[in-house]
Amino acid sequence: MIILGTLGDYLKKLRGKESLRDASKRIGISHTYLDTIEKGFDKRSGKPVKPTPETLKLIAEAYNTSYEELMILAGYLEEKEEKKELSDKDEKDIAKRLQKFKEEIENSDGLAFSGEPLSEEAKESLIESMEYIFRQTQKINKKYIPKKYRDEE
């Protein structure tokens, strides 16, 4: 998942409290070049700076982070739009799970929160929250379909 912000912001976050000099040694580039990358422009010329893919590779290896993510933040690659639409089968599965959950809520005795019995509004809110969770889980699980079952585009 891409972290919002600029490449420089992301690099600063990666390095944390580590000094520019220590970070540049770890990466294998000069500390002035790392400072320039983090700022996003060259102080002398005032022009924007775009690190080379080779430099991004060094950074990814030094901080054990995604090279592809760095390439996207630097503007070399476009972020892929993930397929997160739910199919009719997914919708039916969610509806079945939600119905089962509703039945469990309705048939449970002594359902309480902080020692107080749940009101009808609280039960409805709980059901809505679970529907959201079921949908998000279904979308996340779509990413992990074994390759032999994926639709090739």
How many whole angstroms separate alpha carbon 36 and alpha carbon 66?
A: 21
| CATH 3.30.56.10 is right for the domain spanning 7-74 | no
CA distances from 51 to 35, 70, 138 (A): 11, 10, 38
pLDDT in tens, 22-60: 999 999 999 999 999 999 888 888 888 899 999 999 999
Ranges of each domain in the chain: 7-74, 88-149
Neighbours of 14 (CB within 10 A): 18
Query: CA-based angle 100:144:73, to the nearest 5?
Result: 120
Indicate the SS3 state at residue 132.
helix
The model's pTM is: 0.51
pLDDT in tens, 95-146: 999 999 988 888 877 778 788 888 888 888 888 888 889 888 887 776 655 6
Within 45-147, strands assigned E span 112-113, 116-117
